[in-house]
Amino acid sequence: MTNDEMTKVMGMKEAMAAYVHDGDTVAIEGFTACICFAAAHEIMRQGRCDLTLCRMTPDLIYDQMVAAGCARKLVFSYLGNPGVGSLHAIRRAVEKGIPAPLEIEEYSHFGMVGRYTAGAYRLPFFPLRSYAGSDLPQANPRIRSVESPYGDGSIAVVPPLNPDVAILHAQRADRNGNAQLWGLLGVQKEAAFAARHVVVVVEEIVDEAVIRSDPNRTAIPSLVVDAVVHEPHGAHPSYVQGYYDRDNDFYLAWDEASRDEAQTRAWLDEWVYGVADRASYLEKLPPDAWKRLAAGEAWAEGVNYGRYV
Amino acid sequence: MAATYSASEMMIVTAARALAGVRTVFVGVGLPNVACNLARRTVAPDLELIYESGVYGARPARLPLSIGDPTLVSGALSVCSMVDLFGLYLQGGRIEVAFLGGAQIDRFGNMNTTVIGGYDRPKVRLPGSGGACEIATNAQQVFIVMRLGRRSFVERLDFVTSPGHLGGGAERAALGLPGGGPQVVVTDKCVMGFDPASREMTVVSLHPGVTWEAVQAEVGWDLRAAADVQETPPPGTDELRLLREELDPGGMYTQ
């Protein structure tokens, strides 16, 4: 059987039900780009709770999941609405315990990157030049330091992060889950190799031959992928390089709505609980949305891999 | 007749001029982003803009909404994973200057972007480190851009997120931090440097029309002055034209 005949393609409902369970440690990554809101909204609709949510930048996606009561704990390195301001739902949970107290485990960006890398490499820790002189190790006792066995003094270390499931959005994959991405790569690859299960969500399903024509672009191989979900525009309101731009109006609207608990609830009722799936969410967007968010065109020059027969 | 300009334009132009001759700069969003793009068009034509999102040598065609804006990717020299960005570029010592800002700063340039109040029951929960802690640790030099204010220039930080000169003197070097730490603080009223021995913030120049008292009133400790306090040169007409017509035509950061 060729790879093209094998398939890991699943629907979003089916994939989330199969791979996300109450109490799991979940990483939906994507640094500013390729943030899979479609998966998060489905997890919220399925009523998952008690999750440990890991993400460098919790962003709107985890602000919404915290507001929905999905999370017990947040593992992160930057709590902001990028370019807009605060994450009000998470702040309410941290500052006032509303809707429920939220445990936090906080690192810096390099610390989180190092945690996924150690997780992916199956190493006991990741050493990095950071945290000396900072109060972060006092706030988070899992940030420690070790003496270099080569006599170069001490170095900060962070523990590996191996999520139960990583959900990663990408531009395209074949049916077997070989996924290609371009633009900001974030920690997509490291999170995929670190996780026990991986769901890849893509804008397009392509033939295996397309993947094989440009192997350098394959960041996540089928080897580590459990399921592929075809969900075009599944990262809205974040962006996917070359496919669509960030819908900043949505980021601003959430900033406004999320300041108030009742309004937050109303927003979730309208955009998450009030729709059956991503397709019905997309139908709610104004008709000109995709024209407004069009990426335009800037193609890469092709390269010759050669034919070594 | 001298051109009129806003306090933000004064900050951006002054920050841009501080980059004269610099080759690699780690850019934050907002004012530093505009300053770095202005510097590339004026005093630092070889400047390569580096963003923690993984972009080296960005040529943004629009004002980026965030450090992860897709306009930073298209046309960049290189886009890499974040482990490469932090490991190879930052920790590898390739960053000459990094721009940082924060909610609070103390006299030694240590900064807080984590909490106001106690960590466990914060009065205000701020965004946290992001890359700031390792940027402050590893960049060869750190330039800070912040508006003066008693709530931000404080005697004692509620939380040290990013190390500056720690307790002053040789403390930073003794702890083995690879980078040189904060060198310049550009504010809306003055420019400050750091005393070479004590590493305490010292006023180097006052912006035109600003008095010493006006600066001291916005700072929570007894400020020191450099030996010879100058007047900061005002923005030139070329710089203002670039800012207003090309870099920030909407006036998002300059007004």
DSSP for B40-62 reads HHTT-TT-EEEETTTEES---SS
Region label for B199, one of left (φ > 0), alpha (ψ between -120 and 50) or beta (otherwise): left
If you measure CA to CA, which chain A residue comes closest to B73?
A: A183
Take residue A213 and report the two structure tokens written for it: 């024509």
Contact A133 B110 (CB under 8 A): yes
CA distance B60 to chain A (A): 13
Contact A109 B134 (CB under 8 A): yes
Contact B119 A239 (CB under 8 A): no
How far is B157 from B172, CA to CA, in rounded Å? Answer: 17
Residue-wise pLDDT for A263-284, tens only, equals 999 999 999 999 999 999 999 9
Contacts of B104 in chain A (CB under 8 A): none
pLDDT tops 60 at residue A4: no
Q: What is the pLDDT of residue A173?
A: 98
CA distance A17 to chain B (A): 30
Domain ranges of chain A: 4-108+162-292
If you measure CA to CA, which chain A residue comes closest to B253?
A: A83
Q: pTM of the prediction?
A: 0.96
Say which DSSP state A222 is in. G
The residues of B annotated as belonging to the active site are 52
In chain B, which residues have pLDDT < 50?
Answer: 1
Residue A245 has its nearest CB partner, among B70, B129, B138, at: B70
Give the percent of chain A with pLDDT over 90: 94
> Omega into B163 within 30° of 0, i.e. cis?
no
If you measure CA to CA, which chain B residue comes closest to A97?
A: B121
Contact B54 A186 (CB under 8 A): yes
| Amino acid present at A266 | A
Residue-wise pLDDT for A206-242, tens only, equals 999 999 999 999 999 999 999 999 999 999 999 999 9
The answer as to CATH 3.20.20.140 being correct for domain A4-108+162-292 is no
Residue-wise pLDDT for A126-173, tens only, equals 999 999 999 999 999 999 999 999 998 999 999 999 999 999 999 999
Write down the ipTM of this complex.
0.96
CB A278 within 8 A of CB A272: no
CA distance A291 to chain B (A): 17
Contacts of B29 in chain A (CB under 8 A): 82-83
Contact A132 B54 (CB under 8 A): no
Number of CB pairs < 8 Å for A and B?
163
Contact B127 A94 (CB under 8 A): no
Of the candidate CATH numbers 3.40.50.1000, 3.40.50.11540, 3.40.1080.10, 3.30.930.10, the domain formed by B7-247 belongs to 3.40.1080.10
A86-104 residues labelled b (16+ CB within 10 A) or e (exposed): bbbbbbbbbeeeebeebeb
Contacts of A169 in chain B (CB under 8 A): none
Interface test with A, best of B82, B88, B116, B252 (most A CBs within 10 A): B82
Q: What is the pLDDT of residue B1?
A: 46
Largest Cα–Cα distance in chain A? 66
Contact B73 A184 (CB under 8 A): yes
SS percent in chain A: helix, strand, coil, step 5: 35, 20, 45
Residue-wise pLDDT for A60-105, tens only, equals 999 999 999 999 999 999 999 888 889 999 999 988 888 889 999 9
